[in-house]
Amino acid sequence: MADKVYYITTPIYYVNDAPHIGHFSTTVAADVLARFQRLRGRQVLFATGTDEHAPKVAEATRQRGLEPQAFVDEIVQAYLRTWEETHVSYDDFIRTSEPRHREVVSRVFQRLRDQGDIYKGVYEGWYCVPDETFWQESELIEGRCPNPECRRPVQKVQEENWFFRLSSYQDRLLEYYEAHPDVLQPEFRRNEVLSFIRGGLRDASITRSAYGWGIPVPDDPSKVIYVWFDALLNYITVAGYLSDEEKFRDVWPADLHLMAKDIFVRFHATMWPAILMALDLPLPRRIFAHGFWTVDGEKISKSKGNAINPRKLAADVAERSGSRYDVAIDALRFFIFREVPFGLDGDFSTSSFVQRFNADLANDLGNLVNRSITMLQRYFEGVVPAAEVDPAIVAAAEPMLQGLPEAIEGLRFNVALDLIWGFIGALNKYIDERAPWKLAKEAQQDALAQVMYSLIDGIRLVALAVSPFMPEAAKEIWRQLGMAAPMEAQRWETAMRPGLLPAATATASPEPIFRRIEEKSAPAKEKKMAEPAAPAPAPSPAEAEKPTVTFDEFKRLDLRVAQIEAAERIPKADKLLKLTVNTGKDTRTVVAGIAQWYEPESLVGRKIILICNLAPAKIRGVESQGMLLAADGPDGSAVLLQPEKDVPVGSSIR
Ligand code: ME8
């Protein structure tokens, strides 16, 4: 099936407000993958869209005296515009109010009713309007919606309704997931799904009394189809189900449905696969749920007004730094994957974005490109000399070239970026060590040619590697390199090898791409924090009283780079993790109080700094042989220390 189209989807978003950083992160993640697959030469169908038939749309329009269709037509513009400006390369944008989708929903409903999978019954329960979800009384928490991301009041509903026979798919779903362990990801969320299904599935009410909006139940106009049943079907509408058989054959099943954890267990991992089973259609190959973003430690909420609008933030950064707006957008696309492992919850703070922008983009990447092209102008009039790539640079590129496909396809975006930045770091170090200015002074032309060729060719690889994350910034690097072949025509298999840069390529004049954000031009709120008048926080008593240690005393500590091989929670200790770590000399157990901040799964393979010769201590019945180092995060979290570059396990710390 080499020619199967790679089909990837985002959720279709409710049209209640402009998209925020949460919607942005899911959609950009899908975009990174779509772009990467295209770079690998695959044909891609990348779909996103809007979920428009929600009762709250009907409510909002009544309040404003508008027709629902006119209302959604207006709001959808914010989505279209955001995805266009944030370089989201979707192939299809589906709106559930489109005739192509309404047709599929009606026909699916009729078919399932004809075959007995949909039947009429009486529904009694509670409905959460903001979440568009039905709940049983027993599921409510203090009379409110039990979804931890919602917890808002619910409404009592009792009405005759159509039900989907979800209960009869319970065993088949479990069997399927047993036989296909890789479908639900990440692994720890798969377990949530299995226990939800094992807990027993009830038939699902999939209609509501008509509220003047939505898709009417065929032959029963007093009812409309429940917005979730309607919305999930978008994935097959896009694939051409019932409208374009050939396309559907090429596209279905979806290779990846992406979403956050809020709509994973009940909807995408239970209801949707059951509907597909009822339709005799193959199940998606992978369903992946990522975590939730908070902003400065708080849940994103409309009432708090703390939702970060990616377009506004990028416009602000562009203004403060003097970088182009599209470059600032790319910087944000990079940032949301740089720190937090995709899959876990993350906290967004503008100040750490600014730091990363300055350190990783302006400094590491921006300077590398700028100083390399500047030196080429100076020493070779901007024209790439003929030379072989330095074997040291070939070797330094290897981890990135080998590791990137698996990291991106496994949605380990922070690992992918670590690999790329590892190579960027190696190129910067190469400049410092080989000191081209000295070679020029000493007239070592051959050595100088090799260094400059290796650098510019290395930057070519970096541009291609970052292009799924930062497509416009990558194009700008490509332009400055003076590459004759268009970037879009490059393919991973043929282009991602060192030494393919054609000699005699004439570079353009260097221009800084990522310009530093200077703190002094920060907006009012942040300026306050940087003002010298603001007193530095007083050291805590513990810090103030720490005695001086001599160098010899410090040398008594056996600090080493160690690698986590396994991690698990310690029962009844919600702060502790039991880690199995390899110190290079031995494998041992270490207990760490980081369970609130790190999912065990995310730690496996990670390198840490360990005090190896700390006296062993028993913690909750587990003997801990050493202690890992972590910084106190500003929000009270623990932030693991790790080497800035990859170094072998067992390396000592000096
Ligand atoms: O649920 N952090 O639409 P929705 C990370 N229409 N991601 C977030 C987020 C946050 N704080 N907030 C939202 C719906 N998201 C349905 C979907 S699909 C057939 C129907 C992202 O507008 C994340 O992808 O509430 C989440 O799953 C989605 O927006 C929910 O979007």
Same domain, 415 and 382: yes
275 Rama sector, left if φ>0, alpha if ψ -120 to 50, beta otherwise: alpha
Q: Does 263 sit in the ligand 1 pocket, CB within 6 Å? A: yes
Q: What is the CATH number of the domain that holds 571?
A: 2.40.50.140
Whether 332 is in a domain gets the answer no
Domain holding 504, by residue range, is 347-527
Same domain, 170 and 91: yes
Same domain, 556 and 518: no
Average pLDDT, the chain: 91
Whether residue 403 has pLDDT greater than 90: yes
Q: What is the CATH number of the domain that holds 384?
A: 1.10.730.10
Candidates 93, 263, 290: which one to mutate for ligand 1, based on the most atoms within 8 Å of Cβ?
A: 263
Whether 195 is in a domain gets the answer yes
pLDDT at residue 3, as a whole number? 77
Same domain, 82 and 210: yes
- Which pLDDT tens digit goes with each residue over 482-495? 999 999 999 999 99
Whether residue 530 has pLDDT greater than 70: no
Instruction: Give me the residues paired with residue 640 across strands.
Output: 630
Same domain, 210 and 162: yes
HSE, CB side, 13 Å, CA atoms: give it for residue 70.
Answer: 6
Nearest atom in ligand 1 to the alpha carbon of residue 235 is 19
Contact 21, 27 (CB under 8 A): no
Neighbours of 528 (CB within 10 A): 11
* Identity of residue 34: A
pLDDT at residue 634, as a whole number? 66
Contact 230, 54 (CB under 8 A): no
As a whole number of angstroms, the distance between CA 480 and CA 467 comes to 15
pLDDT at residue 522, as a whole number? 41
What single-letter DSSP state applies at residue 268? I
Which pLDDT band holds residue 571 (cuts at 50, 70, 90)? confident
Same domain, 558 and 518: no
Residue 366: exposed, middle, or buried by beta-carbon count in 10 A (0-12, 13-18, 19+)? buried
As a whole number of angstroms, the distance between CA 8 and CA 409 comes to 12
Last residue of a domain, one of 527, 542, 560: 527
Q: Which DSSP string corresponds to 340-376?
A: SPBTB-EEE-HHHHHHHIIIIIIIIIIHHHHHHHHHH
Same domain, 200 and 87: yes
Whether residue 1 has pLDDT greater than 60: no
Whether 545 is in a domain gets the answer no
Same domain, 486 and 568: no
Ligand 1: distance of its center to the CA of 409 in Å? 22
Nearest atom in ligand 1 to the alpha carbon of residue 149 is 11
The three-state secondary structure class of 41 is: coil
Whether 300 is in a domain gets the answer no
Mapping DSSP onto H, E and C, the string for 522-567 reads: CCHHHHHHHCCCCCCCCCCHHHHCCCCCCHHHHHCCCEEEEEEEEE
The pTM of this model reads 0.79
pLDDT at residue 544, as a whole number? 38
User: Nearest C-alpha to atom 19 of ligand 1 is from which residue?
Assistant: 232
Question: What is the residue whose two structure tokens read 């007093």?
Answer: 222
Please compute the mean of the pLDDT values over residues 580-588 and round it to a whole number. Answer: 91
Last residue of a domain, one of 492, 527, 562: 527
Q: What are the distances in angstroms from CA 191 to CA 110, 177, 178, 395, 623?
A: 34, 10, 11, 40, 28
CB within 8 Å of 98: residues ≥ 6 apart: none
* Identity of residue 346: G
Q: What is the CATH number of the domain that holds 267?
A: 3.40.50.620
Same domain, 482 and 571: no
Same domain, 354 and 449: yes
Whether 646 is in a domain gets the answer no
Same domain, 81 and 221: yes
Q: Does 28 sit in the ligand 1 pocket, CB within 6 Å? A: no
Same domain, 243 and 100: yes
**Selected residue with higher pLDDT from 394 and 573:** 394
Nearest atom in ligand 1 to the alpha carbon of residue 232 is 19
Ligand 1: distance of its center to the CA of 308 in Å? 14
Nearest atom in ligand 1 to the alpha carbon of residue 292 is 2
- Which pLDDT tens digit goes with each residue over 297-328? 999 987 788 999 999 999 999 999 999 999 99
Q: What are the distances in angstroms from CA 113 to CA 17, 101, 103, 276, 303?
A: 35, 18, 15, 14, 41
Q: Does 262 sit in the ligand 1 pocket, CB within 6 Å? A: yes
CB within 8 Å of 20: residues ≥ 6 apart: 300, 307, 308, 309, 310
Last residue of a domain, one of 262, 291, 320: 291
Whether 599 is in a domain gets the answer yes
* Number of domains comprising the chain: 3
Whether 226 is in a domain gets the answer yes
pLDDT at residue 541, as a whole number? 35
Whether 622 is in a domain gets the answer yes
**Selected residue with higher pLDDT from 478 and 18:** 478
